[in-house]
Amino acid sequence: MALNESAPEARTLVMTRVFDAPRNLVFKCWTEPEHLARWWGCAGSTVTTFKGDFRPGGAFRVVMRLSDGSDHRVCGVFHEVVAPKRLAFTWAWEDSESRLGHETLVTVNFAERGGKTEVTLRHAVFESVPACDLHRQGWTASLDRLAGYLAKAKAA
């Protein structure tokens, strides 16, 4: 039976990845701007601006420049910052006139797994299945970049 595309489950993204790094380091990479700016974003993108107040009620804003030169801005507010276990924050794209689009909620859980870290990301509820699918591509690329960054950070 096909999933009803209007159902929230069809517009909810859940991803789980295991990173070969300790939980404290993985959490720092999500919450310290000097780390976050090095892995956040889709393939070929660069974080040109990152401002974040990592506390409940604190806001963040990221500007990512894609390889075609276009800038993409995302803003949000932290609901939970529980080191090194959990983050929860809103997510809304901002257009060139500073108008915010549809707001979603991102939750990220960090679980220790024998010296490694299991990250479970939930991002919901999107306006449409295609929007959910695009974010799946973006988060997949970001998590791939995080894995590469963690390998270098561990070696340093």
Q: Is residue 58 part of a domain?
A: yes
Residue-wise pLDDT for 122-147, tens only, equals: 999 999 999 999 999 999 999 999 99
How far CA 1 is from CA of 4, 125, 129, 154, in Å, comes to 9, 21, 17, 45
- The answer to whether 73 and 61 are in contact (CB under 8 A) is yes
Residue-wise pLDDT for 43-94, tens only, equals: 889 999 999 999 999 999 999 999 999 999 999 999 999 999 999 999 999 9
Contacts (Cβ under 8 Å, ≥6 apart) of 33: 50, 51, 52
Host domain of residue 114: 12-155
Half-sphere exposure of 15 (CA within 13 A, CB side): 21
The structure tokens listed for 75 are 């803003």
Residue-wise pLDDT for 77-89, tens only, equals: 999 999 999 999 9
Q: Is residue 112 part of a domain?
A: yes
- Give the total number of structural domains in the chain: 1
In this prediction, residue 69 carries a pLDDT of 94
Residue-wise pLDDT for 14-48, tens only, equals: 999 999 999 999 999 999 999 999 999 988 899 99
Please, where are the H alpha helices in 32-128?
33-39
CATH number at residue 48: 3.30.530.20
Q: Is the pLDDT of residue 1 over 50?
A: no
Q: Is residue 19 part of a domain?
A: yes
Q: Is residue 130 part of a domain?
A: yes
- The answer to whether 81 and 87 are in contact (CB under 8 A) is yes
Average pLDDT taken over every residue of the chain: 93
